[in-house]
Amino acid sequence: MTDFFVSTGWLAEHLDDPGLSVVDGSWYLPAQGRDARAEYEAGHIPRAVFFDQDVVVAPGSTLPHTLPPPEVFATFAGSMGIGRDDTIVVYDGPGLFSAPRVWWMFRIMGAKDVRILEGGIDRWKREGRFVTDKPTKVAPCLFEVAFDPGRVASLDEMRRVVETGTAQVADARPAGRFEGVDPEPRAGVRGGHMPGARNVPALSLGRDGRLLPPDELRAAFETAGIDLTKPVVTSCGSGVTAAVLVLALETLGHADTRLYDGSWTEWGGRPDTPVATGKA
């Protein structure tokens, strides 16, 4: 068991610590009706920098949120004043939606101590803690990247997984989209799921801005048909909430976990990939 969270009380107590980086990793679907950057500019946790998940991406990619090459990520991180040896605390609005994606990115790029703020800035504000609209001043630094490519799955690798069953696929999208009943939010993307995939909706794994207790987490994966003793690849719409599943699996001590970065936008947006509908 590993706990990747810090409490609002802990962060408030340690805001002045040297070597602490606070990162607003908020990103929202259009249906959520929230503007991440506007909320950051209106009031953010002191010392927080804004990590724009629509900008820190692979240059020229036609897919949303594509993981940038290591050297590109290092440039972004360094410009935000974040070092690989920092204690990095990431937050979003509700606490367990987009922050895990930033947590995952920093970790696979070599950061050693990355945490998520439980309850996010929504809880921080409800508790009456201080926020500021003043820009965070940072001193650019060198982020010494140490990329782990084994934690990311490509389209070709996913084709092999689907064809051979060498790993399980856990899909984090809501059930309606997984089953092909509800439309995808992006034009030109088919409904349904990869043959053999199992549905573990990301929003079902949290409560009050943090993960469910371990026994409930295990039950959620096992009920979905995921064997926690075998390899798992996580997927979602564009690679954001798939990281919630990675977070849950690693919290349970599951080490053989990869994230399909292209996720359903890539798979469902192609004419040459097999698609299944209905319940798994």
Tell me the pTM. 0.97
Is the distance from CB of 91 to CB of 117 less than 8 angstroms?
yes
Q: Which residues are CB-contacts of 242 (< 8 A; sequence separation ≥ 6)?
A: 101, 172, 202, 234, 235, 236, 259, 260, 263
Question: Catalytic site residue 141?
Answer: no
Domain ranges of the chain: 5-147, 150-267
Domain 5-147 matching CATH 3.40.250.10: the answer reads yes
Q: What are the E-state strand segments in 9-106?
A: 20-24, 48-50, 87-91
- Over 80: is that where the pLDDT of 206 sits? yes
According to CATH, the superfamily of the domain at 150-267 is Rhodanese-like domain (3.40.250.10)
pLDDT in tens, 158-183: 999 999 999 999 999 999 999 999 99
Would you say the CATH fold of 150-267 matches that of 5-147?
yes
pLDDT in tens, 22-77: 999 999 988 899 999 999 999 999 999 999 999 999 999 999 999 999 999 999 99
Q: What are the two backbone dihedrals, phi and then psi, of residue 115, each rounded to the nearest 5 degrees? A: -125, 165
Q: Which residue reads 């929202």 in tokens?
A: 28
What pLDDT does residue 188 have?
94
User: DSSP readout, 217-237?
Assistant: HHHHHHHTT--TTS-EEEE-S
Q: What are the contacts of 182-188 at 24+ separation with CB within 8 A?
A: 184/237, 184/264, 184/268, 185/29, 185/30, 185/31, 185/237, 186/64, 186/237, 186/238, 186/265, 186/269, 188/269
Average pLDDT over residues 8-35: 96
Is the distance from CB of 48 to CB of 24 less than 8 angstroms?
yes
Percentage of the chain lying above the pLDDT 90 cut: 97
- Over 70: is that where the pLDDT of 1 sits? no
Is the distance from CB of 236 to CB of 173 less than 8 angstroms?
yes
Is the distance from CB of 199 to CB of 280 less than 8 angstroms?
yes
Set 6, 202, 236, 240: catalytic member? 236
Confidence of residue 280 (pLDDT cuts 50, 70, 90): confident
Mean pLDDT for all residues in the chain:
97
pLDDT in tens, 97-146: 999 999 999 999 999 999 999 999 999 999 999 999 999 999 999 999 99
Instruction: Report d(CA 152, CA 24) in Å as an integer.
Output: 23
Q: List residues bridging with 91 in a β-sheet.
A: 24
